[in-house]
Amino acid sequence: KQEVTQIPAALSVPEGENLVLNCSFTDSAIYNLQWFRQDPGKGLTSLLLIQSSQREQTSGRLNASLDKSSGRSTLYIAASQPGDSATYLCAVTRGDSWGKFQFGAGTQVVVTP
Amino acid sequence: SQTIHQWPATLVQPVGSPLSLECTVEGTSNPNLYWYRQAAGRGLQLLFYSVGIGQISSEVPQNLSASRPQDRQFILSSKKLLLSDSGFYLCAWSKGANTEAFFGQGTRLTVV
pLDDT, tens only, A28-54: 888 899 999 999 989 999 999 998 889
The whole-number average pLDDT for the span A83-105 is: 87
Long-range contacts of B59-62 (CB under 8 A, 24+ apart): B59/A100
**Residues of chain A neighbouring B102 (CB-CB closer than 8 A):** 46
B73-102 residues labelled b (16+ CB within 10 A) or e (exposed): ebbbebeebeeebbbbbbbbbbbebebebb
The whole-number average pLDDT for the span B14-26 is: 97
The whole-number average pLDDT for the span A1-22 is: 94
Q: Give the pLDDT score at A84.
A: 98
Q: Give the pLDDT score at A95.
A: 64
On the question of pLDDT at A94 being above 80, the answer is no
Q: Give the pLDDT score at B25.
A: 97
Q: Give the pLDDT score at B59.
A: 85
Asked if A73 is an interface residue toward chain B (Cβ–Cβ < 8 A), one would say: no
Question: In this complex, do B104 and A32 lie within 8 Å of one another by their Cβ atoms?
Answer: no
Q: Give the pLDDT score at B67.
A: 97
Question: Residue A26 — φ and ψ, nearest 5°?
Answer: -90, -25
In 3D space, the residue among B72, B68, B70, B60 whose CA is nearest the CA of residue B24 turns out to be B72
Reported as type and span, the H/E element at residue A44 is strand A44-51
pLDDT digits (tens, 9 = 90+) for B34-89: 999 998 777 899 999 999 999 999 988 789 999 999 999 999 999 999 999 999 99
Q: Which residues of B touch A (CB under 8 A)?
A: 6, 32, 34, 36, 42-44, 46, 49, 51, 57, 59, 88, 90, 92, 94, 96-106, 108
Q: Give the pLDDT score at A97.
A: 59
CA distance B106 to A41: 8
| DSSP for residue A76 | E
How high does pLDDT run on average in chain B?
93
CA distance B63 to B67: 14
Please provide the distance, in angstroms rounded to a whole number, between the alpha carbons at the two ends of chain A. 41
Please provide the distance, in angstroms rounded to a whole number, between the alpha carbons at the two ends of chain B. 38
